[in-house]
Structure 1
Amino acid sequence: MKKLHRLLAAVFFSLTLPVAPVVAQSTSTTATEAVQEAPNYTAWQEVAEQTEDAIGSGAATNSALEKAREEIAAWRSRFLDAQSLNQTRIETLGGQIAALGAAPEEGATEPQEIADRRAALNSQLKQLQAPVLSAEEAYRRADGLIREIDTIIRDRQADELLQLGPSPINPTHWSTGITAISGTFSGVAQEVATSWNSEEGRANLREDLPAVLFYLAVALVLILRGRRWMEKNTIRYAESTSLRARGAFIFLISLGQIVLPYIGLVALLKALNSTGLLGERGTQLSALIPTVGLVILSARWLGGRIFPKANVQSRLFNLSRQRTAEARWNAAGLGVVVGMAGLLDRMSSFEDYAPAAQATLGFPILVIGAVLMFRLARLLMNHVQADAADGHEGLYRNRLIVLIARASMVTAVLGPVLAAIGYERAAGFFTYPSIATLALFGLLAVLQRLVADIYAMVTGDSESARDALIPVLIGFMLLLMALPVLALIWGARVADLTEIWTKFTEGFSIGETRISPSDFLTFVMIFVFGYMLTRLLQGALRSSVLPKTKIDTGGQNAIVSGTGYIGIFLAAIIAITSAGIDLSSLAIVAGALSVGIGFGLQNIVSNFVSGIILLIERPVSEGDWIEVGGVMGTVRDISVRSTRVETFDRTDVIVPNSDLISGMVTNWTRSNLTGRIIVPVGVAYGTDTKRVEKILRDIAEAHPLVIINPPPQVLFRGFGADSLDFEIRAILRDVTLGVPTQSEINHEIARRFAEEKIEIPFAQRDIWLRNPEALGGAVPSAE
């Protein structure tokens, strides 16, 4: 259990400190930085053969295999760089050969001069390709050796987890554990007594006594009082600070609850070392004091941030004050458990405890950790139940908490059972990584809240900061950054993570083109620059250049839109070319895409092409009054796929562009705003028709919007059922005002007809009953 505890303790320690990301060296090179010399394949052959012999023998230790793997990974990186050796020259020769045309078929000939030139170019090409092919072969061999080493190490780790050792519940092993731990502390005491009994040791102590007392005083003050000082200051400043900056301020002040006591622990270690009384064992044990103390302090701080005291900060969990305090102490207890497990692991390593002693001493620590984890998981379930009672049962966050809580409960039961049977490594593998995972999730929750508090402090919007887009995106990035740490917690090796990073930096191949992250980044940067330049050019055309020309509004919009399409297309082409992506390798994909367009995207493509036709031919422009498909209104916007028409009811209708191209469209204002209106009117029979005609003509000619040339017409349409029917047909200067103009003419007709005593009839009907006596018989009698 030594290596497992050491790894878990180191991982948990790393959770309390800023994690330095492991950045692998980039293996991609540009054409100007290409490798000029081939790798030393003789030296590589020796390394490869030695590694193959070590793998074949099966006697190499894991550390030896890891060292060999690191060396081979460096060779593999060189071989990958060597694959781009003389790449520019190879591409040039390929272009020269292609310029000579296709090689003659079997039995055919070509001019001797061309044949000689083709042979010379092919010879040069083969010479240049030979180092590339060698690099590819060596790369495959190195990659295969790395996979073999990884497989061997993983198999060994699995075997260690399934190894059955002594059972800690066997009473015969208890004395072994007690003897081992008592021997360690008695050895430390013996070393101290030996140093004290020597005159030189006492002399050194008297000489360094002032320094010892100073360090000891600092240690006692900071350890005993430092955390309480910072906690009181946190509460006091939180109550006096504005709500806008409270969260971030509390977080910064609360870090002192770790820093001050940790400085005290370092001072305590300095005091112990300054005495000169510690021997080898005492020095090794005392060196663990700051590390173990940092774990415990960090766990207690994290518990205080996740389960805060009342009125200090907002709560992450819906728990009562009593339950919150219980959860806070459980979190601190888990820190003590992990710290003691790490301390025992270090003691076992330099004291070389027997397996029975390790199992016996580690079992109580593991059981306590499992109990605390189970109780903490129950408190998480209580939070979910309280949220459900408040009507928040379906929250996605609570579903995740339920999953984590149940997994923790299962692990808390499984770990002690496996340890009691004798599977000590398997028990530690399930228990301690589960505790570290809970700590990691808690730290992510605290950091997410910190991001929201900082966002609220910057924007001044503390109410919606938690649900704002930017804090959510930053929280998602934090979760992605935590994935490597989570992998390390659950047994992944650093080499596994670097291997994933190496594969990522190598990129992927499309045909004969390899696309790496650097190529993708180049593509994005150039495309974004081209896109921004296109938008700036469109803005200049729209606001500065085109308004000074005589082009109408529709033409200006067409030019601006066309400039945008061309600019984005050119930006994409330039970005693809600059990134070194060969478009010819996408021919198959483009062919398959064209088939998909022909079947599934034909309507979208049709509307897109129609939109381009609308912008070029401009049968319809923005501001036109049109009628299409029974919809009448004003064109407000013409986009690539559709056109937005605003009706006279002030509602927007989205019309597909294909309907405007293939359907019948009435454009009332295409060439100009003039248009005709028709105003019908009827008069009573017996009225002088010529007089009516003159009155209606006067009314039409008097209206300011009616054009005199051609003059308005008054037509006697015919003899209606109830009236003599007339019509005024007039051309208006602005047909868009046709409806209000027609209303004004009707008002004037009513006024003039009233003055001239001209009757506007309405329908009248006479009803004749053929047999009224039948109706009288149908009426029931009063009786």
Structure 2
Amino acid sequence: MPCGPRSGNVTATNRAAVYSRPFLSETADIVTRFISVSPFSAFLAIVLGLFLSVSAFAQDVQNLVASQREVITSVEQQVDKLAAQVNDQVTDDAKLVDVRVELERLARELFDASLAFRPRLTEVNTRLEQLGAPRGEGEPAEPEEVTAERTRLLDEKASFNVLIGDAERLSVRISGVIDKIAQMRRDLFARTLSRRYDITAALGTDVLGEFTQELGKVYKTVSAWVSFTVKYRLKPLLGAGFLAVLAALCLQFGGRRLFGDFVKPDLADENPTYLSRLSVALFSTLVPSASFAVFLASSYYFLDYFRLLRVDIAPLLWAFFTVIILVYFVYKLARAILAPRMANWRLLPVRTDAARWLVVLATLTAAVTGFDHFMDQVYLQLNSQLSLTVASSLVATVVVGLLVMLIGGVRPLNDVEGRPRHWPMKFRYLLFLMGGVIIAAALLGYIGFARFISQQVVVTGAIVATMYIGFLTSGAITTEGAFAKSWLARKLERYSAFDDTTLDQIGLGLGMLINVLVVVMGVPLILLQWGFRWADLTAWGYRMAGPIQIGSLSFSVIGILTGILVFILGYFFTRWFQGWLDGSVMSRSRMDSGVRNSIRTGVGYVGLVLAGLIGVSAAGINLSNLALVAGALSLGIGFGLQNIVSNFVSGLILLAERPFKAGDWIVAGGVSGTVRKISVRATEIETFQRQTVILPNSELINAAVGNWTHRNKLGRVEIPIGVGYASDARRVHQILLDIAKSHPMVLRNPEPFVLFAGFGASSLDFEVRVYLSDITTQVTVQNDIRFAILEAFAEEGIEIPFPQQDVHVRSGRLEIDTGAQAAKETAKPVANEHAVEPQPSEAGKRRRRKIDPE
């Protein structure tokens, strides 16, 4: 897009800035010398510096105004020329579109020129508000400096307003011319469709002879060009053909490499899934058609690049290539949908013989429509009579109408008894209606309308059918569990293991991407068939890419999409860098796994923040304009998001200080388990019952947390044991000590220790204390030692007593003795005493009752 005036504007502004810098530096040197002389000289220097600074700033403002005035004047002159051209191009739609595109470019340039004043105008208004209104009568006079400053600012604002007013006036004029062009194009399109031709002249006997003569002229022209090119320009011709074939082969082999399983159906698969049939139909149409289109387009481009195309040959060759691509695409699409030779890969449930007929009829319809388009270009190039154009279009449109009606008359389906039946009634009547309208419009002389309808039936119908297949493919991919069975999922699983949930998410994203691609590629093609031109689509693209102003916030759709793309790329790069750092760098060191996890998590959060900031910057959103949003967010944090922010900050502290790390065994309140993941909001702990507990980080910061494996995994295990009062305490102590020392997992330093803990209510209490190098193995060690104690006590005849209670009843008074007193009573006989010893209860305890009469 040309931008001469704008580049000149920027150059003038930069030039003024460059010229002012040496001037200001010299002024600074002068001021420094004056200050070193005397205070009075310093005062004069300050006044002189202010004067010179104001003069330099005024010069910059004048340069800005002058440069933008030049831009507006240049735009106005170009608008005058384009407005004059509009009236001369009433019947040429392409020229009108070109004028409209140029006007829209000038409108964007004018908008940019008007924006150049906005920052300075805002500063002027702010300064005027600070100075206030002039003082009225009866009020003290204000300083002359204030009055002079207000006058200067008002003059500057007036000059800006004049230019902004001129820009707005010119913008309104441009909009008016664009609206006029749109109305002229609508009228031209309506006249083309509603114009009626006299078909009687086209039905004359001499028309066939003229048609033969025109074909002879085309043959002579093309043969002369081919003979000259082969004889005198053979090397460039071979080079153009080689490059075109190379481009087509690259696309063909690349497409087969990427979509090899979809370009050609698998003959061994007798019952393919619906997704497989849709994918084969879509890619077996697009890949070969795109390769053939690239070959023809490359051939035309390289022939033109090597200057092999003549002025009279280029339009004919382009029209011929367009017709060939259209017919080939319709043929491939019909074969992909109907699959006349492979019933199991057929998308529509039609009979095999009907599928063959439908492929032939669809291809003939496209060929006849393409022939009409090619002959129209031939007549235009040879300046043939209008009767030839009318005759060819009349015959072609009538044939197309008959072919459409024949497609509606085919019986492709089977009824319940297996007999052939017609299409559904609505679809069949629709085909009959379209065919009848085409034939009736052509016979009544509305050739333009008949040609338009026939072209839309073929071209738009093919595009819509392809888009519909794309939408069906997207819907089939997003079905739960469908993508996991696809060819692409098998390809992905070769490089990395994905679970079903991840594959479903990938399928959902891929389905959305297919929908976007179908719309982006299909809608412009349909609009081109309905009378729009590439210039219209380009203009709409510029409008979408242009800035959208909401107050002081400016953004664009393209900018937002670019920001999202940049963020996605940054996100995946961060994930890749995390994996590379953890798997290739930290794994080779002796770094603890918890430290690796903390570094990996921190790098992930830093990468996401950077990706977000870069994405916002790429979207063109100025973060300084979000001050109000930031203030509201801060207020919300102060009231409603305290816990979230507290947990977030606590998570950062945990990652930085690392009081515990992933893999540590911690005890936090009533939760005991292994740390699995530390996030910025919460920490995931897995208990020994395999229960996952999500603890907010603030609770781990504000409360006491026990960490069994903080520095190392060394830890002590206590195993309490009680023996009967009749046991030899020293022998028991020696046995327990020997058992502790004999276990292979018990450390020798610190050495095991057996504590005589005290005299219990029913037993002599001991406690075995051993140290383990890995505290997480304590359960195994405790089991081994307990089994060894049972076996050793059984061999030594040492009793492990039940808890006991002695109940004494004397003179109606209940007394309960426990502990040593109970032991004494059992050792000494009591007169008039009758002892009752019940059997052990369900809890394994034994009580002894002693009842004494009066």
CA distance in 2, matches of 1:478, 1:642: 42
Is residue 304–residue 328 contact of structure 1 (8 Å, CA) maintained in 2?
A: yes
Is residue 624–residue 667 contact of structure 1 (8 Å, CA) maintained in 2?
A: yes
Out of 180, 184, 188, which is 2:203 matched to?
A: 180
CA distance in 1, matches of 2:728, 2:466: 97
Alignment of 1:195-344 (within 5 A): 247=263, 296=327, 299-300=330-331, 302-304=333-335, 306-308=337-339, 310=341, 321-339=352-370, 341-342=372-373
Matched, 1:515 2:555: yes
- Pairs aligned (count): 645
Q: CA deviation at 1:369?
A: 3.4
SS in 2 for 1:632: strand
SS in 1 for 2:91: helix
Q: Label 1:590 to 1:181 Cα distance change in 2 as closer, same or farther (>3 A).
A: farther
Q: CA deviation at 1:503?
A: 0.5
Is residue 244–residue 460 contact of structure 1 (8 Å, CA) maintained in 2?
A: no
Is residue 679–residue 727 contact of structure 1 (8 Å, CA) maintained in 2?
A: yes
CA distance in 1, matches of 2:570, 2:142: 47
Q: Deviations over 1:108-134 (max 9, x none)?
A: 899765775676567557656755664
Letter in 2 for 1:76: E
Alignment of 1:363-378 (within 5 A): 364-374=398-408
Is residue 683–residue 697 contact of structure 2 (8 Å, CA) maintained in 1?
A: yes
Q: Label 1:61 to 1:83 Cα distance change in 2 as closer, same or farther (>3 A).
A: closer
Bigger Cα displacement from structure 2, 496-505 vs 670-679: 670-679
- Output the TM-score relative to the length of structure 2: 0.57
Letter in 2 for 1:77: R
Q: Label 1:84 to 1:48 Cα distance change in 2 as closer, same or farther (>3 A).
A: same
CA distance in 1, matches of 2:170, 2:317: 50
Q: CA deviation at 1:583?
A: 1.9
Q: Which residue of 2 aligns with 1:142?
A: 174
Identical-pair percentage = 29
SS in 1 for 2:71: coil
Is residue 258–residue 294 contact of structure 1 (8 Å, CA) maintained in 2?
A: yes
Q: CA deviation at 1:762?
A: 6.6
Alignment of 1:25-104 (within 5 A): 37-39=70-72, 40-44=74-78, 46-47=80-81, 63=91, 67-68=95-96, 70-85=98-113, 91=119, 93=120, 103-104=130-131
Q: Which residue of 2 aligns with 1:232?
A: none
Q: Label 1:673 to 1:542 Cα distance change in 2 as closer, same or farther (>3 A).
A: same
Letter in 2 for 1:43: Q
Alignment of 1:192-591 (within 5 A): 247=263, 296=327, 299-300=330-331, 302-304=333-335, 306-308=337-339, 310=341, 321-339=352-370, 341-342=372-373, 351-353=385-387, 361=395, 364-374=398-408, 410=430, 412-414=432-434, 416-417=436-437, 420=440, 429-441=452-464, 473=513, 477=517, 480-516=520-556, 558=598, 561-562=601-602, 564-566=604-606, 568-570=608-610, 572-573=612-613, 576=616, 581-590=621-630
Q: Deviations over 1:204-241 (max 9, x none)?
A: 99x99x989x99xxxxxxxxxxxxxxxxxxxxxxxxx9
Out of 735, 756, 780, which is 2:775 matched to?
A: 735
Q: Label 1:346 to 1:67 Cα distance change in 2 as closer, same or farther (>3 A).
A: closer
CA distance in 1, matches of 2:394, 2:618: 65
Q: CA deviation at 1:483?
A: 2.0
Bigger Cα displacement from structure 2, 690-699 vs 590-599: 590-599
Q: CA deviation at 1:649?
A: 5.6
SS in 2 for 1:103: helix
CA distance in 2, matches of 1:596, 1:323: 68
CA distance in 1, matches of 2:572, 2:352: 54
Is residue 680–residue 725 contact of structure 1 (8 Å, CA) maintained in 2?
A: yes
Q: Which residue of 1 aligns with 2:760?
A: 718
CA distance in 2, matches of 1:290, 1:665: 77
Matched, 1:645 2:673: no
Q: Which residue of 1 aligns with 2:806?
A: none
CA distance in 1, matches of 2:438, 2:586: 80
CA distance in 2, matches of 1:78, 1:442: 40
CA distance in 1, matches of 2:627, 2:546: 23
Q: Label 1:535 to 1:701 Cα distance change in 2 as closer, same or farther (>3 A).
A: same
Is residue 299–residue 334 contact of structure 1 (8 Å, CA) maintained in 2?
A: no
CA distance in 2, matches of 1:567, 1:463: 27
Q: Deviations over 1:478-522 (max 9, x none)?
A: 552232102222343444323311202313224335434775587
Q: Which residue of 1 aligns with 2:727?
A: 687
Q: Deviations over 1:54-106 (max 9, x none)?
A: 6xxxxx98536764553243133134224434977975x57976997961344
CA distance in 1, matches of 2:798, 2:570: 73
Out of 649, 653, 656, which is 1:616 matched to?
A: 656
Q: Label 1:527 to 1:493 Cα distance change in 2 as closer, same or farther (>3 A).
A: closer
Q: CA deviation at 1:766?
A: 2.8
Q: Deviations over 1:2-29 (max 9, x none)?
A: xxxxxxxxxxxxxxxxxxxxxx789998
Q: Which residue of 1 aligns with 2:15?
A: none
SS in 2 for 1:738: helix
Is residue 676–residue 735 contact of structure 1 (8 Å, CA) maintained in 2?
A: yes
Bigger Cα displacement from structure 2, 336-345 vs 546-555: 546-555
Q: Label 1:121 to 1:741 Cα distance change in 2 as closer, same or farther (>3 A).
A: farther
Q: Label 1:665 to 1:31 Cα distance change in 2 as closer, same or farther (>3 A).
A: farther
Is residue 715–residue 772 contact of structure 2 (8 Å, CA) maintained in 1?
A: yes
Q: Which has the larger radius of gyration?
A: 2
Q: CA deviation at 1:756?
A: 1.5
Is residue 257–residue 301 contact of structure 1 (8 Å, CA) maintained in 2?
A: no
Is residue 713–residue 729 contact of structure 1 (8 Å, CA) maintained in 2?
A: yes
Q: Which residue of 2 aligns with 1:3?
A: none
Letter in 1 for 2:131: P
SS in 2 for 1:616: helix
Is residue 34–residue 84 contact of structure 1 (8 Å, CA) maintained in 2?
A: no
Q: Deviations over 1:382-437 (max 9, x none)?
A: 89xx9xxxxxxxxxxxxxxx99x977863553552586486956666555313213
CA distance in 2, matches of 1:603, 1:99: 41
SS in 2 for 1:687: coil
Q: How much is the aligned-residue C-alpha RMSD, in angstroms? A: 6.4
Q: Label 1:98 to 1:669 Cα distance change in 2 as closer, same or farther (>3 A).
A: farther
Is residue 300–residue 328 contact of structure 1 (8 Å, CA) maintained in 2?
A: yes
SS in 1 for 2:674: strand
SS in 2 for 1:38: helix
Matched, 1:766 2:798: no
Q: CA deviation at 1:647?
A: 3.9
CA distance in 2, matches of 1:286, 1:548: 64
Is residue 547–residue 554 contact of structure 2 (8 Å, CA) maintained in 1?
A: yes
CA distance in 2, matches of 1:118, 1:766: 110
Structure 1 regions of 5+ residues with no counterpart? Answer: 1-23, 55-59, 167-172, 196-203, 216-240, 267-279, 387-401, 769-783
Is residue 647–residue 696 contact of structure 2 (8 Å, CA) maintained in 1?
A: yes
Structure 2 regions of 5+ residues with no counterpart? Answer: 13-66, 136-140, 232-256, 266-283, 301-311, 478-485, 496-502, 804-836, 842-854
Is residue 684–residue 724 contact of structure 1 (8 Å, CA) maintained in 2?
A: yes
Q: Label 1:571 to 1:707 Cα distance change in 2 as closer, same or farther (>3 A).
A: same
Is residue 247–residue 313 contact of structure 1 (8 Å, CA) maintained in 2?
A: no
- The higher-RCO structure (CA 8 Å, 6+ apart) is 1
SS in 2 for 1:84: helix
Q: CA deviation at 1:757?
A: 1.3
CA distance in 1, matches of 2:189, 2:604: 59
